[in-house]
Structure formats: structure tokens, C-alpha cells
Amino acid sequence: MKISHHLDFMLASILAVATIIFVFLVYNRTIVLSFIVGPFRFSHWLGIIGTVYIAIATPLFVVLKRRFHADWTRIVRFHMFGNMVFFAFIAAHFAAQVGRPPSNYPELGTGLAMFLAMALQVASGFTQRFRSQRAAFKKIFNYKTNMFIHASLVMVFYLVIVFHVLHGLGLT
Ligand code: HEM
Ligand code: HEM
């Protein structure tokens, strides 16, 4: 296995742990992201930026990957690290919402569904990219199914986000 693959694994693992710590600190309001910037709270801006990035970068990845002479490693790095960073933005928006005080608690619905789908998407992307080559592991973990779950979950993102934004903006 190449050294760059080990470095990617380490970097992705550090990013995942940093995201979990960051999200926890936003949830218990040690880090406050609810200040207003223009028409929205900062935590909403993070949700919007993360969503726009993933909505554009995913089809871009699908096209780039299929180009003739495509550099697979570079393109997958862009896919993996880009999505992990912007998922952290979305996770901050999620944590700010579920950490709201009881007097002002949101009605959980489309946002919660999307967060669970995206967390599973990141986790299945991780297991796909860093799959073990050991024969025993390959027997108990089916990578084709994992890839199917990973690629299919993107539909939840594109379908549910429409209803979430309409609801968030008070239009439904
Ligand atoms: C994948 C991306 C996103 C996730 C996981 C997410 C997650 C959440 C969650 C869990 C809530 C609490 C209510 C609920 O469960 O529906 C929420 C509320 C909210 N979200 Fe998002 N969100 C995302 C993207 C966005 C975007 C792009 C916007 C842009 C307008 C947005 C705007 C809002 C607003 C305004 C609320 C507050 C609604 C209320 O107070 O009832 N979110 N979000
Ligand atoms: C959270 C947002 C993400 C979305 C929406 C997403 C979406 C997708 C889609 C649609 C594909 C299928 C592409 C195709 O076959 O044309 C794919 C492939 C893949 N994704 Fe993700 N992904 C996300 C995050 C991640 C993360 C965080 C990782 C790694 C840690 C990852 C690793 C992979 C890998 C390894 C492939 C297979 C590439 C190949 O072998 O050709 N993804 N992803």
C-alpha cells in the first residue's frame, strides 16, 4: 500500500475526529454560532455554504471521474476531503439547531432526516475509500453493497433539501 494512502487515511481520520469535537462544542454552546450575519444566523450560512458546495461538487466529481486520462487518486481526494470539510459546515448548522434551548426548540423533520442520511453517506464513503484488503474482511463486508448505499444516498440529499429550504424559509 502506498504511503500517500496512509497519509490520506490519517488526515481523513483527524478530520473526522475534529468534526465530532467541533459539533459537540457547538451543540453544548461552548462555541456560539447563532449571531446574525445579514438575513440569517451564521449557523444557517454554514448550512447553506455546505449544501451549495456538495450540490455542485458531486456532479462535478461524477463527470471528472469519467474523463479520459482522469487522475483517479487526485479526483477522489478532491471528493473525499472537500465533502468532509463541507459536511463539517452542515454538521455545525445541525448541532446549532438540535442544541437550541427547550423554549425555542425546532420541530425536527427534514433537517434531521438529511443529517442522518449525510452522516451515513460520509461513513460509507470512508469505508469504501479505506477498505481493508484482507480476505477475511472482504468476506464479511460487501463493498459493492457499500458503494450502492453510498451512491444512492445522494438522492436523499437532492430530494429532501428542496423541502427543507422551503420549510426553513417559511414557504411551506
Ligand atoms: C444537508 C444540509 C442541512 C441539514 C442536515 C440541516 C439540518 C437542519 C435541522 C436538523 C434543523 C432543525 C429542524 C429540522 O429537523 O428540520 C434545521 C433547521 C433549519 N435549517 Fe437546515 N439543514 C441543512 C441545510 C439547510 C439550508 C441549505 C438552509 C437554507 C435556507 C437551511 C435553513 C434552515 C433553517 C432556516 C432552519 C430553522 C427552521 C425552524 O426554525 O423551524 N438548512 N436544519
Ligand atoms: C457527503 C457527501 C458525499 C456525496 C454526496 C457523495 C457522493 C458520491 C457519489 C454519487 C458517488 C458515485 C460516483 C460515480 O460512480 O459516478 C461517490 C463515489 C465515491 N465516494 Fe462519495 N460522496 C460523499 C462523500 C464521500 C466521502 C466523505 C468519502 C470518503 C471519505 C467518499 C468516497 C467515495 C469513494 C471512494 C467513491 C468511489 C469512487 C470510485 O471508485 O470511482 N465520498 N460518492
pLDDT tens digit at each of 172 positions of the chain? 688 889 999 999 999 999 999 999 999 999 999 999 999 999 999 999 999 999 999 999 999 999 988 899 999 999 999 999 999 999 999 999 999 999 999 999 999 999 999 999 999 999 999 987 788 877 788 889 999 999 999 999 999 999 999 998 888 7
User: How big is the CA angle at 101 (ends 95 and 168), to the nearest 5 degrees?
Assistant: 60
Phi/psi region, residue 40 (left: phi>0; alpha: psi -120 to 50; beta: rest), is beta
Asked if residues 167 and 109 have their Cβ atoms less than 8 Å apart, the reply is: yes
Q: What pTM does this model have?
A: 0.94
Q: How far apart are CA 172 and CA 157, in angstroms?
A: 18
What is the per-residue pLDDT for 1?
63
Mutate to test the pocket of ligand 2, among 79, 86, 121 (most ligand atoms within 8 A of CB): 79
What is the per-residue pLDDT for 4?
84
Secondary structure, 3-state, 120-159: HHHHHHHHHHCCCCCHHHHHHCCHHHHHHHHHHCHHHHHH
CA of 94 to the centre of ligand 1 (A): 7
> Number of structural domains, the chain?
1
Does any ligand 1 atom lie closer than 6 A to the CB of residue 93?
A: yes
Does any ligand 1 atom lie closer than 6 A to the CB of residue 79?
A: no
What is the per-residue pLDDT for 128?
94
| Ligand 1 closest atom vs CA 165 | 30
**Domain span including residue 148:** 3-168
